[in-house]
């Protein structure tokens, strides 16, 4: 952990405040000093005694608390912090900060600090989507505040959509720069999701891919200490905290985005489901259904993975192989043909791999190297895979791995 040991944790009044206790504990486990500041609303959701016991410091709640101010004034507290993390950050909190209000302790501290400020929004999906909240987020981002999440999923109000606070471990990974881990100091580039090859303004060719595996790998690589660049096609997933995301649409754009940055990378993982062919002609106007059949001529797209593996000074290069049969034979053939350092194979078909939460993998590398990862949630598989990649990508360690 570099230089951010003193965390000023703001807790505002949302149901996700119950997760703040876990967050304090996770920060303490990583060696941070944590000073909790609660708003009046937060007190409706979680007791100060809980946060005080876990942080080992009295919780600050009031700008006008003379005893607390005498011990450490609010300006001193703002200077003390290496970073400010507000989790959960309600819609109300975002609005106050966007307007620069200073009518309670937490908002005053945010104005008085020059430490980085991170916000973990948590609210109902419609509140998050409201133009007022959108505008507040834009103002805050333009001022250098980092928004972490929100995640997408089931909400306490019974609805589903964006607005869930990110999990405490994800917040810790985002806030503590350069975490120690097997990939500390290394840069990892990951491609994820499908590509879209336009046919006309309303149609495109694409592959089945939710992007979940690539995004899980990006989160795991970041948690293992890497700098992570995630180049992704169109997906409905939130960016993992601390990960740099580049959005692309077509295979050609993916190729371009990868080669612009891959020179700085130590490890490249191609998890994207790239469309192998693209329509030769793009019809500027919508194609009308005039004839009984329609013929499209398709051209091969660049093979991004193979082009990275072919670089003179190349990163440790890992590919994926989605196969419907003879998984091992096809994957070994692909490993050799594309000259990869490792290939991660899985069987695809109805109910397997696509859009599912779990998966099972066969990992192969040259000279008959092989490891099977039994069926598990993608998140767990990603962590195991990143650990294996971290080991095998160091030549001195790779030699001793069975």
Kindly tell me the burial class for residue 323, based on how many C-beta atoms sit within 10 Å of its own C-beta (0-12, 13-18, 19 or more): middle
When binding is defined by CB under 6 A, the residue of 251, 327, 345, 382 that contacts ligand CTP is 251
In the complex with ligand CTP, the residue whose CB is nearer, 35 or 317, is: 317
Query: Cβ 234 to ligand CTP, closest distance in Å?
Result: 15
Determine how β-strand 160-164 pairs with β-strand 316-323: unpaired
Q: Is 19 one of the binding residues for ligand CTP (CB under 6 A)?
A: no
When binding is defined by CB under 6 A, the residue of 219, 304, 345, 361 that contacts ligand CTP is 304
In the complex with ligand CTP, the residue whose CB is nearer, 123 or 305, is: 305
Query: Cβ 283 to ligand CTP, closest distance in Å?
Result: 23
Tell me the backbone φ, ψ of residue 149, rounded to 5 degrees. 85, -155
Q: How far apart are CA 265 and CA 260, in angstroms?
A: 11
User: DSSP secondary structure string, 136-166?
Assistant: HHHHHHHTTPEE---EEEE-TTS-EEEEEPP
* Piece in contact with ligand CTP (CB under 6 A), picked from 24-32, 108-116, 298-306, 384-392: 298-306
Q: How far apart are CA 345 and CA 195, in angstroms?
A: 20
Active site residue 157: yes
159 neighbors 203 (Cβ within 8 angstroms): no
- For ligand CTP, the binding residues in 178-217 under the rule CB under 6 A are 191
Query: Cβ 301 to ligand CTP, closest distance in Å?
Result: 5
Q: How far apart are CA 350 and CA 248, in angstroms?
A: 27
Tell me the backbone φ, ψ of residue 262, rounded to 5 degrees. -65, -20
Q: How many residues bind ligand CTP (CB under 6 A)?
A: 15
Kindly tell me the burial class for residue 55, based on how many C-beta atoms sit within 10 Å of its own C-beta (0-12, 13-18, 19 or more): buried
Q: Is 272 one of the binding residues for ligand CTP (CB under 6 A)?
A: yes
In the complex with ligand CTP, the residue whose CB is nearer, 10 or 319, is: 319
Query: Cβ 213 to ligand CTP, closest distance in Å?
Result: 11
When binding is defined by CB under 6 A, the residue of 244, 256, 276, 358 that contacts ligand CTP is 276
Interface mask toward ligand CTP for 320-359; x: CB under 6 A? xxx-----------x-------------------------
**Nearest residue to 135 via CA among 106, 99, 171, 168:** 99
Q: Is 301 one of the binding residues for ligand CTP (CB under 6 A)?
A: yes
List of residues contacting ligand CTP (CB under 6 A): 191, 251, 270, 272, 274, 276, 301, 303-305, 319-322, 334
């Amino acid at each position: 952990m570099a230089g951010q040991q003193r965390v000023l944790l703001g807790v505002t009044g949302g149901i996700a405040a119950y997760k703040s206790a876990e967050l304090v504990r996770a920060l303490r486990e990583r060696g941070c000093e944590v000073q909790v500041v609660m708003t009046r609303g937060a007190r409706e959701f979680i007791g100060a005694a809980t946060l005080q016991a876990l942080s080992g410091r009295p919780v600050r709640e009031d700008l006008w608390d003379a005893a607390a101010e005498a011990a450490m004034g609010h300006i001193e507290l703002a200077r003390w912090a290496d970073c400010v993390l507000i989790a959960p950050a309600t819609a109300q909190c975002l609005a106050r900060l966007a307007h620069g209000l200073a009518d309670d302790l937490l908002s005053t501290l945010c104005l008085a600090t020059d430490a980085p400020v991170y916000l973990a929004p948590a609210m109902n999906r419609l509140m998050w989507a409201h133009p007022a909240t959108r505008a507040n987020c834009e103002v805050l981002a333009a001022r250098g505040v980092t928004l972490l999440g929100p995640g997408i999923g089931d909400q306490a109000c019974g609805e589903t959509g964006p607005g869930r606070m990110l999990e405490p471990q994800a917040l810790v990974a985002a806030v503590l720069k350069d975490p120690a881990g097997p990939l500390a100091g290394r840069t990892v580039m990951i491609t994820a999701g499908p590509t879209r090859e336009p046919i006309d303004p309303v149609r495109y060719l694409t592959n089945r891919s939710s992007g979940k595996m690539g995004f899980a790998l990006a989160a795991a690589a970041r948690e293992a200490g890497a700098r992570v660049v995630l180049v992704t096609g169109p997906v409905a997933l939130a960016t993992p905290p601390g990960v740099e995301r580049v959005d692309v649409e077509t295979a050609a754009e993916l190729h371009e985005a990868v080669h612009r940055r891959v020179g700085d990378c130590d490890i490249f993982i191609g998890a994207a489901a790239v469309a192998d062919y693209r329509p030769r002609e793009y019809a500027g106007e919508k194609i009308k259904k005039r004839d009984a059949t329609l013929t499209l001529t398709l051209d091969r797209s660049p093979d991004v993975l193979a082009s990275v593996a072919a670089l003179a000074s190349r990163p440790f290069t890992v590919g994926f192989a989605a196969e419907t049969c003879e998984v091992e034979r096809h994957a070994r053939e692909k490993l050799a043909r594309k000259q990869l350092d490792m290939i991660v194979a899985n069987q695809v078909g109805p109910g397997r791999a696509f859009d599912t939460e779990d998966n099972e993998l066969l990992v192969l590398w040259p000279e008959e190297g092989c490891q099977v990862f039994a069926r598990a949630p993608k998140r767990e598989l990603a962590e195991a895979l990143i650990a294996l990649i971290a080991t095998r990508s160091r030549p001195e360690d790779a030699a001793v791995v069975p």
